[in-house]
């Protein structure tokens, strides 16, 4: 057994694990508060799934589905290209949502970014890194 043969399965497993963890983080982040709106004495938290966070959950679910299919050998290592694209698109979309929350200003109303949005931003990074890790093998 050559040195390359010994290291290849470990690299593929690492990429898949990173992708799975990133996808789960995307789904969990969508279930948590993405923003908090304060008007005087009143405060309202907005969960990711109450707005457009369902798209993030779908991206995470799609990444998990593709990794699950690839795990069974149906599409093999080539899944990583699609997963990487899903991660990039989810990341761009989440950054735009972060910008929308940060730039929302109205007299007497303040907004702040919730933990779910911050957590969700970690997910696409791991999905992309996991996909690229697998492509590099």
Tell me the per-residue pLDDT of 69-101, one tens digit each, with 9 for 90 and over.
765 554 556 777 888 888 899 899 889 888 888
* pLDDT of residue 125 exceeding 90: yes
39 inside domain: no
Structure tokens given for 72 = 């069974």
Please state, in angstroms and rounded to a whole number, the distance separating the CA atoms of residues 91 and 26: 10
User: How many structural domains are present in the chain?
Assistant: 1
As a dihedral over the C-alpha atoms of residue 48, residue 102, residue 21, residue 52, rounded to 10 degrees, the angle is 30
Tell me the per-residue pLDDT of 26-73, one tens digit each, with 9 for 90 and over.
889 889 998 888 888 888 888 888 877 788 888 888 888 877 776 555
12 inside domain: yes
Burial class of residue 59, CB neighbours in 10 A (0-12, 13-18, 19+): buried
Radius of gyration of the chain (CA): 18
Higher pLDDT, 119 or 71: 119
Structure tokens given for 15 = 């990429």
Tell if the pTM clears 0.75, that is, is over it. yes
pLDDT of residue 98: 86
If we measure between CA atoms, which residue out of 53, 55, 60 comes closest to residue 23?
60
30 inside domain: yes
Q: How confident is the model at residue 126 (pLDDT cuts 50, 70, 90)?
A: very high
pLDDT of residue 122: 93
9 inside domain: yes
pLDDT of residue 11: 44
96 inside domain: yes
Q: Which domain holds residue 81?
A: 3-34+44-135
69 inside domain: yes
118 inside domain: yes
pLDDT of residue 137: 62
- Most confident option among 97-101, 116-120, 132-136: 116-120
């Amino acid at each position: 057994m050559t040195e390359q043969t010994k290291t290849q399965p470990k690299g593929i497993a690492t990429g898949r694990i990173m992708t799975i963890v990133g996808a789960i983080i995307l789904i969990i982040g969508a279930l948590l508060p993405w923003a908090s709106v304060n008007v005087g004495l009143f405060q309202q938290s907005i969960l990711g799934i109450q707005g457009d966070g369902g798209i993030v959950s779908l991206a995470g679910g799609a990444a998990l589905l593709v990794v699950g299919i690839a795990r069974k050998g149906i599409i093999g290592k080539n899944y990583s290209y699609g997963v990487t694209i899903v991660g990039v698109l989810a990341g761009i979309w989440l950054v735009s949502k972060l910008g929308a929350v940060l730039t929302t200003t109205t007299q007497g109303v303040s907004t702040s970014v919730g933990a779910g949005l911050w957590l969700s931003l970690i997910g696409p990074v791991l999905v992309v890194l996991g996909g690229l890790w697998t492509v590099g093998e």
